[in-house]
Amino acid sequence: MTESASYIGRFAPSPTGDLHFGSLIAAVASFLQARCKGGKWLVRIEDIDPPREVDGSADRILLDLKRFGMEPDEPVLHQSSQIKKYRSARQSLIKSNLAFKCSCSRKSLPGSGVYPGTCRRKVRDPSMPLCVRVKTTSKSINFNDGLQGQVQENLNKDCGDFVIWRSDKLPAYQLAVVLDDALQGISEVVRGADLLDSTCRQIYLQQLLNLPTPAYIHLPVATKGGLKLGKRFNSDPVSQLDPVKAISKALEFLGHRPPPGMRFERLWIWAIEHWNIERVPARKTISLDGVGGFQL
Ligand code: GLU
């Protein structure tokens, strides 16, 4: 198999609100990377956090992607259909003594957020709601990010034993994401640099679960007033925007400047012809404050 034939990329939004400019950037970059490698682009709806979900937003995200010209090459995977698989991975980690139940509430932990190992040997208060944490080690985890360069973490020091199953009985993002990236055969993950901190934890879980590690590219995150553009603040949904304008702005943000006046189909042809990940600024954030033309 050639490299291109085996390329599988993905966009994995959580349905916690409508598609906004920040997530459009990840969608456009992951889509173009897959198209340019002659591979597949998949969409996964990460709907395992019902308390944060916004009714109807999964369908609206998919509609917006379609309206913006990005259609997945396989049926959309909803994480809510995969709970059994997450549960069985959790059980196998507990059984192999690689994970343990924990009664510590977030409030009871030190301000640093690094878990001090309180329940590693014995659950401190079994009457409390229990989460499940994976045991970390001080072995360093490294990877070479396609944009941000070399990243290294010592999980013991940087986060300590981290949660793979929440005390409200929901699977944690870190566990679900590695199981589904493996299930879908993802060869390269292209996403925002706000998730750079999670990547070493994900690689560690891949190692414990004998899963392959994809390549990673973390894109700069758009900020306004020092805050990340998010679904919950600081960002309007892109659904109201003209697709040519929105895609052109996303391309510009990603270091590509399409000639003005192109129509929708032509713009995508141009983007696929000219896409080069090396043109994307190798930064963790880019502020949209005062940048002319970014008034979306
Ligand atoms: N579902 C996550 C989000 O919407 C993205 C997960 C990922 O790309 O790994 O922020």
Q: What are the pLDDT digits (tens) for 124-156? A: 999 999 999 999 999 999 999 999 999 999 999
**Whole-angstrom Cα Rg for the chain:** 20
Burial of 98 (0-12, 13-18, 19+ CB in 10 A): middle
Tokens found for residue 41: 């682009």
Ligand 1 close to Cβ of residue 153 (< 6 A) = no
pLDDT at res. 171:
98
SS3 110: coil
Q: Mark the ranges of the chain whose per-residue pLDDT is less than 70.
A: 1-5, 230-235, 290-296
pLDDT at res. 240:
83
- Looking from the CA of residue 23, the nearest atom of ligand 1 is 4
Ligand 1 close to Cβ of residue 14 (< 6 A) = yes
Give the mutation target among 178, 195, 199, 203 for probing the ligand 1 site: most ligand atoms within 8 A of CB. Answer: 195
- Looking from the CA of residue 191, the nearest atom of ligand 1 is 8
Ligand 1 close to Cβ of residue 191 (< 6 A) = yes
pLDDT at res. 1:
42
Give me the phi and psi of 163, to 5 degrees please: -80, 130
| Angle in degrees, CA 189, 256, 142, rounded to 5 | 30
Under 8 Å between Cβ of 105 and 69: no
- Looking from the CA of residue 198, the nearest atom of ligand 1 is 9
Burial of 112 (0-12, 13-18, 19+ CB in 10 A): exposed
Burial of 240 (0-12, 13-18, 19+ CB in 10 A): exposed
Ligand 1 close to Cβ of residue 177 (< 6 A) = yes
CA pair distance 11, 294, nearest whole angstrom: 23
For ligand 1, the distance from its centroid to the CA atom of residue 185, given in whole angstroms, is 17
Nearest CA to ligand 1 atom 7: 12
Ligand 1 close to Cβ of residue 46 (< 6 A) = yes
For ligand 1, the distance from its centroid to the CA atom of residue 13, given in whole angstroms, is 5
pLDDT at res. 232:
54
- Looking from the CA of residue 202, the nearest atom of ligand 1 is 9
For ligand 1, the distance from its centroid to the CA atom of residue 45, given in whole angstroms, is 9
pLDDT at res. 238:
86
CA pair distance 152, 197, nearest whole angstrom: 10
For ligand 1, the distance from its centroid to the CA atom of residue 154, given in whole angstroms, is 23
For ligand 1, the distance from its centroid to the CA atom of residue 66, given in whole angstroms, is 19
Residues with Cβ within 8 Å of 57's Cβ and at least 6 positions away in sequence, in order, are: 15, 16, 17, 18, 231
Pairing of strands 285-287, 221-224: parallel
Residues with Cβ within 8 Å of 203's Cβ and at least 6 positions away in sequence, in order, are: 141, 143, 213
CA pair distance 171, 83, nearest whole angstrom: 8
Ligand 1 close to Cβ of residue 12 (< 6 A) = yes
- Looking from the CA of residue 11, the nearest atom of ligand 1 is 8
